[in-house]
Structure 1
Amino acid sequence: MTSKLSALLPDLSPWRSSRDFRLLWVQGVVTYFGSFMAMIALPLQIKDLTGSPLAVGVMGAVELVPLVVFGLYGGALADSADRRKLILGTEAGLGVLAVVLLVNAMLPDPMLWPLYLVAAGVSALAGLQRPALDSLMARIVPHDQLTAAAALNALRYQLGAIAGPALAGLVVAYAGHATAYGVTVAGFAVSVVLCLRLAPAPAAHDAQKPSLRGIAEGARYAWSRPVLLGTYAIDLAAMFFAFPNAIFPFLADDLDAEWSLGLMYAAGSVGSLALSMTSGWTSRVRRHGLFVVFGAAAWGLAIAAAGWFSNVWLVLLCLAFAGAGDMLSGLGRSTIWNQTIPEELRGRLAGIEVLSYSVGPQLGQVRAGAMAGWTGTRAAIWSGGVACVASVGLLAAVLPKLITYDASTDEDAMRRRAQQEALTKA
């Protein structure tokens, strides 16, 4: 019985084998907690200032262009610059933007336009940072520990994603938006100190300077790999159709359960956390494409059910199941990316990865906000979940190599393993 339980618990091998992984893990917990405080406070403040679901959804449109531009450029930059310096600089910039939110919230009459401006700035800096963070992971963690690292990173995210939203609703309700933003500022200050302790991560000696040609080279590589293409397409479709977070304040009102807003934002992470805490078995799986497809389909089904039920506790349960599905799909995507992409393209492909799992939610917020204004909040949610399931099924049929992906036989995965082993020996 004890051995079976141990097999389910998270695999801690990356934590034991890599100092930089430990630093980034702790840094991520701190950053995510503070960021989620602001992430919840920001749409709530827009809602309080405008009372419009469309105004909240527009935040996704404002974030979209900076994310696309800087995500792609950040990917090219991560292949040509010291990734540690890039992570440190962007983290400091995010802290400055949190200060802007704090100052604006402390004004007698807070202004609306700085909220959109900061949202765009955060999107730009996140686009620059995420490729460096993601591409660094494949360098500091052994190849056979990448699935375990993905699970532990998800656990790190979930700790912040559960505590941040749950407390943010209470903090905003009883202490105001400024207090929530103050916590965010403090979190980024601690994060910068931790990032300073990371080891340098310089680019390869033959690295090219960031250019459109380099970005295009990464895009051509991704397009030529059906397995990678499938991970991007399924995630984009799932998030576009079934990411209703922007209209959760209106769902809480519709269910006559305003007290549940923080729980709605946290419920998905509770489901993800449950899967992460029993993820030991995932390190022994080699068919990670199945994770991507089944996880995304489960996400869509659960979101559809959340929009259909009128009992708030059933809605929260559905959102938790959705989070578990998203976690499973995310484990598959992260493992495939890190197992198959060559080191010299890691940054640029990480930039494309940023678009695949960030552009979808941004567009999804716009879709959800616009449709909620047209059909009502709950209809916007359940119809999006149904569309998600249908699109995932269609993409899986069109891209069968994703379903048949096997880490032990895939040529790209075997080549990447040999490359990492050569770098380690060098």
Structure 2
Amino acid sequence: MAVDQSYQKVTIWQYKEFTFLLAASLLLSIGNKIYELLLPLIMYDLSEGSSIVMTSMRTAELLPNLFFGIVVGIIVDRVNKKKWAMWMILIQAVVLLIMYGMFGEHLYKPILFYLFGFILMTLNYGFFNTQVSLIKLSVPLPLLTSANAKFSFIETFVGIMGPVFLGFVLLFANKAQGLFLTVILYVLAYFLIMNLTVNELVKKGSRNSFWLDFKEGWDVFTKNKALKTMTLFILFINCTMIVVSNTVLIFGTADLHLSNSVLSIILATAGVGGLIASLTINRLRIRFKLGVLFGAAIIGNSIAYAGFYLTNHLYLLALCLLLNGYSTTIYIICAYTFRHEQTPSEFMGRIGGLTGSLFRIGMPISMLFSGWMINWWGTSSIFISSAVVNVIIFLIYRRTFLWKLQ
């Protein structure tokens, strides 16, 4: 498709709707990352150091993507996207405010908090799926590439800098104050979305068309051997990645007895590693095949996990976090790049939702089980078992055709 020449001298920042949507996405991404990392820590404190309660909270937060990832994209196509987005944001702000009040009054109700965590992540997923459609409604077709690049940068940046944001919140006298900060971010995002002016046509789909859309996406996935095989590897790698990231917080607090301020600084090294990875990935991709980079990231993480197992000092912890942040970012970029390259554009939404659910299918189970492992054998059991699993995954991966993928 030829690019409309009339847009060559037009900057994307001239479109108010795009600017509002991008700013709202940034605020929501930061807020989401804060409470995603903060809630398990608060639960850990309130339960007087129960790793089972902490990991159960993370399990509840992981379930929505698993249950709803496949269907949300189809549902979003049938509703008013602006109103849907506003409701997703507003309800999250209300839930966070309720949780903030309960924590402030020292009302410890684990079951309620699990439910709140599940609701928050469900609504969060509902908004960010809607965002894809709103981007297309906010800018002309020739500027979509530039628009998506901006949103991709925000997603990557916030993901990489998650430990830094958490570190900032941990400097507060009371961790629960971080939830109130998140409420403020969500309220600001709500007003930004409210001021969007987009023209959209809501299509009412039938039950048959819903299942037909799903079936078409499933057929595309099952017929792509490379995508199926890579998804299987990602499924197992993600299980170790999520439990290690959660266990590091317990390890720094309970085993190394680090203060909140010191822990926040140490956690920031993972963000530094991620930033270095984001700056070097393009050069690495030129020199090495995608399959090789993906495998190298697996080994890099296994070394970092073994380092956590051997760690008895904060400096070694920082070094391992640096390597972990670097390897994890390389792994994520390779996984998403591979999925984009293997998926036809007209099926991107459905394949994204389907593979997203499959990527996370083992995470809730592994997170829940990790709490009992920590309770029985300590944090070291998570680190060494994750290192061994990643080595085994790499050895199997090395013998597959994926290793030679360009």
TM range (shorter): 0.7 to 0.9
Rate the CA distance shift 1:189–1:148 in 2: closer, same or farther, 3 A: closer
Deviation, 1:395, is 3.8
Distance (Å, rounded) in 2 between the aligned partners of 1:283 and 1:142 = 24
2:223 matched residue in structure 1 = 224
Unaligned runs of 5+ in 1: 1-14, 407-426
1:69 and 2:71 matched: no
Q: Which residue of 1 aligns with 2:213?
A: 214
Deviations 1:367-391 (A, max 9, x none): 3322212221122112212212322
Q: How far apart in 2 are the matches of 1:282 and 1:120?
A: 38
Whole-angstrom distance in 2 between the partners of 1:133 and 1:388: 34
1:49 to 42, 46, 49: 46
Structure 2 Cα separation of the partners of residues 388 and 138 of structure 1: 39
Instruction: Note the alpha carbon deviations across 1:150-179, whole angstroms, 9 max, x for none.
Output: 4553124334x14321112222xx1x2431
Report the CA distance shift for 1:343/1:192 in structure 2 as closer, same or farther (over 3 A): farther
2:4 maps to: none
**1:79/1:345 contact within 8 Å kept:** no
Mapped pair 1:97 → 2:99: no
2:321 to 319, 322, 325: 319
Change (3 A) 1:294 1:34: same
CA shift in 2, pair 1:40/1:149, >3 Å? closer
Paired residue for 1:189? 187
Q: Quote how far apart the aligned CAs of 1:272 are.
A: 0.9
TM-superposed deviation, 1:56: 1.1
1:154 to 1:71, Cα distance in 2 relative to 1, 3 A: same
After superposition, residues 18-417 of structure 1 pair within 5 angstroms as: 25-50=22-47, 51-81=49-79, 86-133=84-131, 150=152, 153-159=155-161, 161-171=162-172, 174=173, 176-196=174-194, 200=198, 211-243=210-242, 244-252=244-252, 253-259=254-260, 260-263=262-265, 265-279=267-281, 281=283, 287-395=289-397, 397-398=399-400, 400=401, 402-406=402-406
- Deviation, structure 1 residue 193: 3.0
SS at match of 1:257: coil
Change (3 A) 1:203 1:77: farther
Corresponding residue of 1:9: none
**Contact 1:75–1:131 (CA<8 Å) still a contact in 2?**
yes
For residue 399 of structure 2, give the secondary structure of its aligned residue in structure 1: helix
1:331-372 Cα distance to aligned partner (Å, 9 max, x none): 122223334433432222221243245445444422332221
Paired AA for residue 344 in structure 2: P
Which digits, 9 at most, give the CA deviation of each residue in 1:15-39, with x for residues without a partner? 9657677655543432233233323
The 1:256/1:366 distance shift into structure 2, 3 A limit, reads same
Letter in structure 1 aligned against 2:222: W
- Normalised by the length of structure 2, the TM-score is 0.80
| Distance change >3 Å, CA 353–CA 96, structure 1 → 2 | farther
Q: What secondary structure sits across from 1:390 in the alignment? A: helix
Shift of the alpha carbon at 1:223? 2.3
* 1:243-279 per-position Cα deviation (integer Å, ceiling 9, x unaligned): 3233334312212324443345443222112222445
CA deviations over 1:180-208 (Å, ceiling 9, x no partner) = 11101011112223334567485897977
Please report how far the alpha carbon of residue 286 of structure 1 lies from its aligned counterpart in structure 2 after TM superposition.
9.2
- Paired letter, 1:403: W
Could you say if the C-alpha distance between residues 189 and 329 of structure 1 is closer, same or farther in structure 2, counting changes exceeding 3 Å?
same
Aligned to 1:11: none
Q: Which amino acid aligns with 1:247?
A: T
Q: Do the aligned partners of 2:247 and 2:382 also contact (CA within 8 Å) in 1?
A: no
User: Does the CA contact (< 8 Å) of 2:164 and 2:267 recur in 1?
Assistant: no
Distance in 1, Cα, partners of 2:364 & 2:267: 16
**Quick one: distance in 2 between partners of 1:296 and 1:203?**
44
CA distance in 2, matches of 1:351, 1:74: 8
In 2: Cα distance, 1:28 partner to 1:287 partner: 32
Question: For residue 380 of structure 2, what is the amino acid of its counterpart?
Answer: R
Measure the CA separation in 2 of the matches of 1:135 and 1:340.
Answer: 21
**Partners of 1:75 and 1:351 within 8 A in 2:** yes
Letter in 1 for 2:318: L
Count of residue pairs brought into register by the alignment: 387
Alpha-carbon spacing, 1:288–1:146, altered in 2? closer, same or farther (3 Å) = farther
Tell me the distance in 2 between the aligned counterparts of 1:208 and 1:396. 45
Listed one character per residue, the Cα deviations across residues 214-265 of structure 1 (whole Å, up to 9, x for unaligned) are 3343233222213322442232211212332333343122123244433454
RMSD after superposition: 3.6
Deviation of the 1:102 alpha carbon:
1.5
Name the SS of the counterpart of 1:242 in structure 2. helix
For residue 318 of structure 1, report the CA deviation from its aligned partner.
Answer: 0.9
Cα–Cα, structure 1 residues 147 and 26, in superposed 2: closer, same or farther, change >3 Å? closer
DSSP 3-state at the match of 2:107: coil
Q: Is the 8 A contact 2:267 2:318 kept in 1?
A: no
Q: Distance in 2 between matches of 1:35 and 1:70?
A: 18
Q: Using the alignment, how far apart are the partners of 1:392 and 1:89 within structure 2?
A: 43
Question: CA offsets per residue over residues 280-320 of structure 1, 9 Å max, x none?
Answer: 53686894444433323322321222222222221122112
